[in-house]
Amino acid sequence: MKILIIEDEARIAKRLARMTRAYFEQQLELTVCDTLSRGLAYIEQSAIDVLLLDLNLNGENGFEVLEAMVARPFHTIIVSAYSDKAITAFSYGVLDFVPKPFDEARLFQAFGRLISKNTLPDSPLEYLAVRKGGMIKMIEAGQLSYIKGSGIYSELHLQGGKRELHDKSLDMLEQLLPPNGFVRIHRSYIVSLLQAEKLVIEAGGRYSIQLKSGELLPVGRSRYKELRGKMI
């Protein structure tokens, strides 16, 4: 697990580092940056899995930085004093928001979300940030029809047929998307329940789901039961 901590207060950075080491024990590659600019420079050069980010969300560019981070192929956990901004941060698609001051249990809970699936976040994701030609584009979650996994990327299929590429993997997006609105139907597909029309059983016992747009998507055998339960 490659983790980057961006925190300008030495004492808090040390605390985060100590607790992170305690949680992940041996399989950890930890880097600490004491300024945002150094941290951003590090991200450009090295791949990471999780970012622990102290962000001044009251500042003018706090959310700009946040948008840029959530578009990346890693999970972002915000560790911030501005706890009143938690809901907005969640809507942008952070894995968790740890308000300061925090103890070990709270930080461990955030790390827990990396592993366990279907842990409901405090508030739902509302936007997916997509990097496109050096710009960040915010896509409303309600616009999604389905998502198709494509290696380390995901294809966001929007209503009306538009497509966008997201840097995060399908597994990572599944962790962020609200489970009551989106369902993993297949190794390679997540579908928006609002866009699902009906379940189809094809010849040979293969399951599919038909979307309101008419598209047919395959449903994994093991996921059929769960899906049927959610659609009724």
Partner 1 sequence: MQKWWILLLLITLASCRHDIRYEASDVILSRPDTVFTARVAIDLLEKKFSSPLGLQVHSFGAFMVYWDGFKVGQNGIPSTPGRPEVAGTETSYYQIPDKLSGLGKHEVVIRGTQIHLLEVERSVMAKPESYLKLLRQPLIELSLVNLMAGAFLIAAIYYTFLYYNSKYKQRTTLLFAVICFLFFALLALEYLKYYIDIPYTQFYTRLIVVGWLTFAIAVLIPLYFTIHFNLPYKLLFIGVLLVALLCIYIVNYDHYDLTARLYSLTLWIASVLILLYALVKKQRGSILVLAGFAASMVINQYMFYDFGLYIAFTIILLCILYLQTLAAKQLEEAHQASQLLSSRLQLELIKKNIQPHFLRNTLTSLMDWVEESPAQGVRFIQALSLEFDIMNEIAERSLIPIRQEIELCRHHLSVMQFRKEITYVWEDRGIQDDELIPPAIIHTMLENGITHSVPSDEGSVRFLLAFSRTGLHKQYIFEAFAENQERSGHQGGNGFRYIEARLKESYGDRWDLSSEPFAGGWRNIIRIDL
Contact positions toward partner 1, by CB under 8 A? Answer: 8-12, 14-15, 35, 37, 56, 58-62, 81-84, 99-103
The number of angstroms, rounded, from the C-alpha of 116 to the middle of its chain's C-alpha atoms is 13
Q: Which residues of 70-80 are buried (b: 16+ CB within 10 A; e: fewer)?
A: bbbbbbbbbbb
d(CA 197, CA 211) in angstroms, rounded, equals 5
Q: Which is nearer to partner 1, 34 or 202 (CB)?
A: 34
Q: Which is nearer to partner 1, 44 or 60 (CB)?
A: 60
| Smallest distance, partner 1 to C-beta of residue 37, A | 7
Burial class (CB within 10 angstroms; exposed 0-12, middle 13-18, buried 19+) of 12: middle
| Smallest distance, partner 1 to C-beta of residue 16, A | 9
| Smallest distance, partner 1 to C-beta of residue 79, A | 9
Do 173 and 190 meet the contact criterion of CB atoms below 8 Å apart?
Answer: yes
Alpha helices per DSSP H over the chain: 10-24, 36-45, 62-70, 86-92, 104-115, 170-176, 224-231
Q: Which is nearer to partner 1, 65 or 156 (CB)?
A: 65
| Smallest distance, partner 1 to C-beta of residue 27, A | 25
Residue 55 DSSP class: -
d(CA 171, CA 210) in angstroms, rounded, equals 22
| Smallest distance, partner 1 to C-beta of residue 183, A | 37
Q: Which is nearer to partner 1, 42 or 102 (CB)?
A: 102
Q: Which is nearer to partner 1, 81 or 158 (CB)?
A: 81
